[in-house]
Amino acid sequence: MHVEDFMKTFDELNFLCLALPSCKAAENFMAFIFGLILSPSTSISGMAELFDGKICQSTLNRFLTSCKISTAKLLELYRKWLVSQAKNCSAVYCIIDDSLLHKSGKSLPGANYAYDHSRGAVCWGQSVVICLAKLGEVNLLFGIELYDKTAKKFLSKIDWAKRLAKDFSGHFAGRTIVYLFDSWYCCQKLIDALPSGAQWVSKLKRNRIIYVGGQRLSLKDFVRCVKSWQYHKVSVDGKVYWCHEAVVEVNKLGVLKIVLTKSSRHARKVSAVLVSNMLGATEEELVRHFTQRWEIEVCIRTEKQSLGFEGCMVRSKKALRRYWMLLMISYSLLSKLKKNVFRKAKTHGDVIKELKKKFLKLREGIFSLIKIHVKRIFAKG
């Protein structure tokens, strides 16, 4: 029964196992996924301890650095699977953000000093640009890219965001896509790169110049001019927002709709200014769209706290890309399990706790189950 439970729970990975060159490579692949999800330690040595000596640290290291598999090929297969998960979605969200992974090593690819907004200080680490696909109730990672200031072919964060958005639109061609990003990415360079007719919602910085009735003024001054009686109540998923909408021309971006939001009608501070090219959308629709952006914040926190996003200390970009691909697969697997198996779980962390209860004390041992599972997959072809 244990083996059957195992296969039922993790059969989402079968197509990737079959793409690997051998049963041994597939076993190492699944061992790495399990190590990321179940190991109490984020280090590779800690992952190896999970398997009671049946797979060693050097084997997992070699899988990252020298296994003869194409990371790009596996990533493309993974993305095709991701697209298949959207078949019943009327619209999909492409959510783009960045994060700083705090590091201690000085010889890590792309590591540099960067300002960390969460800490309010300059820290050493790797900066990454992340793309999350929200497909109905399921959140699946689409891509993680390294922002490397020292790279010979330097790409800014905006450049990476453009690439991710282009790849996303290519994979989800023919579907309604809503792009969500923060004020940092709300710029002409990214928006001009989006597909023709693309829908997007973002925050807008208060120092932007807008034109209202032909008059040029800063967004900050416009916000001050709006009176409290001009706000009205909007309810989204049980939360109340007080909103004021206007159609204005934003400098370099064109005619757009902006929505000012406050926590109460008489609050002195405007919480956020949303901006979108969906001129016919209501305030409620735009607020509802943008609240979905919070999912990427939760995703990044889960990756850091539960999946060792900051714990990887590999020194080659090849190994780093492979590690991040494995991390994306692990996160997306947890998302699927949260929806289909552990339906009472509120977070990915709850799913991990349930998995640990289910598998860590099995008499067969995790790696024995992996070997049986992989053998059956390859036997079926």
C-alpha–C-alpha distance, residues 256 and 50, integer Å: 53
pLDDT at 363 (0 to 100): 54
Dist. CA 199–CA 169, nearest whole Å: 12
Q: Which alpha helices (H) appear in the chain, and where do they start and end?
A: 2-10, 14-18, 23-38, 44-49, 57-65, 71-84, 157-171, 188-193, 219-225, 283-291, 294-306, 317-340, 348-359, 366-380
Structure tokens at 109: 């690819």
Extents of the domains making up the chain = 2-69+325-335+342-380, 199-281
pLDDT at residue 330, as a whole number: 94
Given a cut of 90, whether residue 367 has pLDDT beyond it is no
Average pLDDT (48-63) is: 85
Phi, psi of 167 (to 5 degrees): -60, -40
What pLDDT sits at residue 171?
A: 96
Helix or strand run (H / E) with residue 275: strand 272-276
**Percent share of the chain, pLDDT over 90:** 64
How far apart (Å, rounded) are the C-alpha atoms in residues 255 and 252? 9
**Per-residue pLDDT reduced to its tens digit, 196-246:** 889 999 999 999 999 998 899 999 999 999 999 999 999 999 999 999 999
What is the C-alpha to C-alpha distance for residues 244 and 283, in angstroms, rounded to an integer? 8
Per-residue pLDDT, 1: 38
Query: Per-residue confidence at 300, pLDDT binned at 50, 70, 90?
Result: very high
Q: What band does 362 get if pLDDT is binned at 50, 70 and 90? A: low
